[in-house]
Structure 1
Amino acid sequence: MKHFPIFMALEGRRVVVSGGGEAALAKLRLLLKTEAKLVVVTEDAAPEIAQWAQDGRLTLIRRAMEPGDALCARLFYAANEDDAEDARVAELAHRDGALVNIVDNLEDSQFITPAMVDRDPVVVAIGTEGAAPVLARAIKKDIEERLSPRLGLMARMGKAFRARAEALPFGVKRREFWADYYAQGVASETDASSSLEALLDKHLTAKPKEGRVDLVGAGPGDPELLTLKARKALDEADVVIYDRLVAPEILELARREAVMLSAGKEGFGPSVTQDAINEMIVSHARSGAHVVRLKSGDPTVFGRLDEEIDACDASGIAWTIIPGITSASAAVAALGQSFTKRGRNSGVRFITGHDTKGFADHDWKTLASEGEVAAIYMGKKSARFIQGRLLMHGADPLTQVTVIENASRPEQRILATTLGELEPTLTHANLTGPALVFLGLAPRAALVAAQHHEMEAAI
């Protein structure tokens, strides 16, 4: 993000525009919606600008810009539609201490004006950092169609009612009141006023809401693989307790006011204990909060879900499981493969490389059989142990093995090897992200060719 979006206070502040043609008109139509003191400096003003000056909506100075014209200005627009003149007046404005925008010149501008959806006092700003103005306009059109024309009225009435709403306790109770208000439509100020009074009475007399827990799968990392139900839970959560492997892009989707707590679980390393996590979940839910326990992948697959459910049950707290796409599904898709294939295997095993006691033991003899397919979670640090167990039970050293690091994420990496070469392949690869090991699966030939081409290009 090269441009940080803010809403700047312009009430009573000077905003200066240099130029009197179409570019200046486009900016002025937007700026006239503010309460800024507008000044236009130009030798040749369009009729609309002259009329606005006559109506007292702005001050028009009919001459070329001079030093000092932008003094005390909060913003300055160079809109002369002439590169040399825009550069000249921008330099003068810089010296006067104003923030400068040169129309259609992103590189030399200190700020940019986004596309806007105006439901005053509700304003939605859309920016693409100058990369795709057409896209910004398309997004604006979509939002315009979604937002009620009466949204501004509702916001103004809500603002006037704020002092009355403070009769509700700060936090969840007050937030639920406002959510109920904005979820309904109003036809007039009278309608909005009576609606607010009735809603306040309803919320003041309502019984305290009980907390609840959503046990949510965050998927393998790609935010676009997050389910709609998981997205809704994040948008409503009061508290989000998340694992270390949950992608930052997914955490960004949580409601801004939500309390974000890291559970920090890490295999073979320092981590928050499961008992401490259970206590976090229960204590926040008891206080009436909507808690989202956010787990990487799918919480029902190696997510220690039962222990957290038991903790909720023991405390009489309602819970819901919201499944996610497990990392193995995203990883096998990256291979262009299917878990099962007619004539090869009719089943697949999901196993873990280690558990709370250390390296996990399995039915290695069956897994070593020809045609078996297994997705091995947490298999990176236990790779040598898995390799040794399988070879000891007669597995073919040439059995295809694929390792997928950071499945579904931009930094995803696929390593194709064999069981006999699993180690030292992993050691040499120096994997740093979460990885899945697939026994009996290899990337499709097209993927291997594409990766080989990428490697040659990099060289």
Structure 2
Amino acid sequence: MKLYPLFADLADRAVLVVGGGAVAERKTAALVEAGARVTVGSPTLSPLLAQWAQAGRIVHIAGSFQAHWLDHAWLVIAATDDEALHQRIVELAAARRLFCNVVDDAARCSFHVPAVIDRAPLTIAISSGGDAPMFARLLRERLETLLDHSLGALATLAARLRKRIRLRHPEPAARRRFYEQLFAGPVADLVRRGRPEAAQAEAERLLASVDASSRGSVVLVGAGPGDPGLLTLRALRAMNEADVILHDRLVSDEVLALARRDAERIEVAKEAGHHHTTQDGIHALMLEHARAGRRVVRLKGGDPFVFGRGGEELEFLRAHDIPYEVVPGITAAVACAAYAGIPLTHRDRAQSVRLLTAHCKASHDTLDWPALARERQTLAVYMGVSQLEAFQQRLLAHGRAASTPFALVENGSRPEQRVVTGTLGQLARRAVEQAVQSPALLILGEVAALAESLAWFGAPPVGERGQGIPPRRASVSFGASVDTLAAIHHA
């Protein structure tokens, strides 16, 4: 179930809880803490709820549920053990357009109560859509250990300065950079050390200082082959600091979804034979936004320095005195081979790897074909779908055996990954028969024969006689922290 995340202001608003046991007690406690005017309707109350009713913290209606209890409520929680009563409450609440939560019955809920990490005024809510509440609680426990309790005090300090920050930095990009300094620099450290006065003074000094970071910059970021789990932490950080993201067509939607929501996104749709944005156009966009004081992320599929024209872009930025940095990504050859179960090197089969591009016909003329035709090496060929026949013929002409195994990895590392296998003599024909489309990477060499026996991800490889051996799946271990989450393949 896809839920819309919503934080509700219930201060001094009427909320009805039907039920008086331990579960109702937990729900009521959270509502009271949020400032709601809680009415608990039940024949009996738990000892703690009875104390709260006697102290005037809640209102108790003794007796069985009546429809008029809903008349003034903003929302209602059904927390009894009577399913028929729950269904009646759900129907009556829907007729009144009230949000209703039925404890331990996700299908009947019109809102869910998430697992909460409280760093007031900062609140972090985790929901599984009602499908796996224990998993949401487990994640909350993990995050509780990662998020310092001083975050609430830091958020309060920022709130006090908010109006002045907006006046001092009216441009959103500069304002965001100020907040980054506030939350990650000496101010946050002083708050964490329990020195609020010193933190306030440092924040005032920072607010009065000249913002040296107002100059724009460009970060070349490798987005990897498509699986968002293969992004580096530095890549993720850069994407969340960006004001503008210039991204290739092959950057997956799942990767883009991890970027800052309010960053401007510009697709510079570069693919073989279809340059909707020229390289000069990309240079112009980087320059325009950087000179306007923005942080630009040039997001490239794979790695910026492996057939990504990253060097050309850095030369341009340097010539125009634009600050830059590079965040490497996992290049397609490494990722596609790994996700297809193909080791690029192997003691018995390949002692070297060559990364090639078949991007255009002219590039073929500069390659050392006799060297490429030697055995016991792996060729990883990028952007080669349209040039497979020419590539095949030249290798055969220079002595590479027609029996040399190959694997074409289409959409490597993505859910729709497909691996087509065969031999060099069959290469062009197999690609046409299987309608292989870009993005696809060609792996040619003795190691490609291991695709069928070592496959572990996605659909089984498609060999000459149809489907290959079903892959043995990875087992996933949820370790002690996010950093230890690992997929373990048992050979």
Alignment TM-score, normalising by the size of structure 2: 0.85
The 3 A distance-change label for structure 1 pair 398 and 208 is closer
Q: Which of these residues, 434, 437, 447, is aligned with residue 429 of structure 1?
A: 434
The 3 A distance-change label for structure 1 pair 349 and 207 is closer
Partner of 2:23: 23
Please report how far the alpha carbon of residue 419 of structure 1 lies from its aligned counterpart in structure 2 after TM superposition: 1.4
In the alignment, the residues of structure 2 paired with residue 448 and residue 140 of structure 1 have an alpha-carbon distance, to the nearest angstrom, of 35
In the alignment, the residues of structure 1 paired with residue 454 and residue 43 of structure 2 have an alpha-carbon distance, to the nearest angstrom, of 63
Partner of 1:409: 414
1:426 is aligned with what amino acid? A
2:454 is aligned with what amino acid? L
2:177 is aligned with what amino acid? E
Please report how far the alpha carbon of residue 436 of structure 1 lies from its aligned counterpart in structure 2 after TM superposition: 0.4
In the alignment, the residues of structure 2 paired with residue 104 and residue 242 of structure 1 have an alpha-carbon distance, to the nearest angstrom, of 43
CA contact under 8 A between 2:342 and 2:454: conserved in structure 1? no
Matched, 1:153 2:159: no
Q: Which of these residues, 382, 388, 392, is aligned with residue 383 of structure 1?
A: 388
In the alignment, the residues of structure 2 paired with residue 14 and residue 385 of structure 1 have an alpha-carbon distance, to the nearest angstrom, of 74
In the alignment, the residues of structure 2 paired with residue 335 and residue 188 of structure 1 have an alpha-carbon distance, to the nearest angstrom, of 54
Please report how far the alpha carbon of residue 233 of structure 1 lies from its aligned counterpart in structure 2 after TM superposition: 1.6
1:7 is aligned with what amino acid? F
In the alignment, the residues of structure 1 paired with residue 4 and residue 363 of structure 2 have an alpha-carbon distance, to the nearest angstrom, of 47
Partner of 2:129: 129
SS at match of 1:107: helix
CA contact under 8 A between 1:41 and 1:60: conserved in structure 2? yes
In the alignment, the residues of structure 2 paired with residue 333 and residue 110 of structure 1 have an alpha-carbon distance, to the nearest angstrom, of 43
Matched, 1:120 2:133: no
Please report how far the alpha carbon of residue 207 of structure 1 lies from its aligned counterpart in structure 2 after TM superposition: 4.0
Partner of 2:372: 367
Deviations 1:187-236 (A, max 9, x none): 3654454343222122xx34463222211111112222212222222222
SS at match of 2:168: coil
The 3 A distance-change label for structure 1 pair 448 and 21 is closer
Please report how far the alpha carbon of residue 72 of structure 1 lies from its aligned counterpart in structure 2 after TM superposition: 4.4
1:195-274 matches, within 5 Å, as 195-202=202-209, 205-207=210-212, 209-274=214-279
User: Could you tell which deviates more after superposition, 335-344 or 380-389?
Assistant: 335-344
Please report how far the alpha carbon of residue 428 of structure 1 lies from its aligned counterpart in structure 2 after TM superposition: 2.1
2:317 is aligned with what amino acid? C
The 3 A distance-change label for structure 1 pair 350 and 50 is same
Partner of 2:485: none
SS at match of 2:69: coil
Matched, 1:90 2:90: yes
Please report how far the alpha carbon of residue 376 of structure 1 lies from its aligned counterpart in structure 2 after TM superposition: 0.7
Deviations 1:305-348 (A, max 9, x none): 12211210121112222211111011222343332334544322
The 3 A distance-change label for structure 1 pair 360 and 322 is farther
Matched pairs, number: 453
Deviations 1:43-78 (A, max 9, x none): 212232232233333222112221232234332111
1:279-294 matches, within 5 Å, as 279-294=284-299
**Structure 1: which 5+ residue stretches go unaligned?**
none
Alignment TM-score, normalising by the size of structure 1: 0.91
1:59-78 matches, within 5 Å, as 59-78=59-78
In the alignment, the residues of structure 1 paired with residue 89 and residue 321 of structure 2 have an alpha-carbon distance, to the nearest angstrom, of 69
CA RMSD of aligned residues (A): 2.4
The 3 A distance-change label for structure 1 pair 356 and 423 is closer
CA contact under 8 A between 1:298 and 1:326: conserved in structure 2? yes
1:254-333 matches, within 5 Å, as 254-333=259-338
SS at match of 1:73: coil
Identity of aligned residues (%): 39
SS at match of 1:391: helix
Partner of 2:487: none
CA contact under 8 A between 1:378 and 1:435: conserved in structure 2? yes
In the alignment, the residues of structure 2 paired with residue 354 and residue 147 of structure 1 have an alpha-carbon distance, to the nearest angstrom, of 47
CA contact under 8 A between 1:68 and 1:96: conserved in structure 2? no
CA contact under 8 A between 2:385 and 2:438: conserved in structure 1? no
In the alignment, the residues of structure 2 paired with residue 435 and residue 95 of structure 1 have an alpha-carbon distance, to the nearest angstrom, of 54
The 3 A distance-change label for structure 1 pair 433 and 18 is farther
Deviations 1:394-444 (A, max 9, x none): 433222111111112222111111112112211222234511011214242
Please report how far the alpha carbon of residue 250 of structure 1 lies from its aligned counterpart in structure 2 after TM superposition: 1.6
Partner of 1:110: 110
CA contact under 8 A between 1:359 and 1:382: conserved in structure 2? no
CA contact under 8 A between 1:116 and 1:126: conserved in structure 2? yes
In the alignment, the residues of structure 2 paired with residue 145 and residue 197 of structure 1 have an alpha-carbon distance, to the nearest angstrom, of 30
2:118 is aligned with what amino acid? D
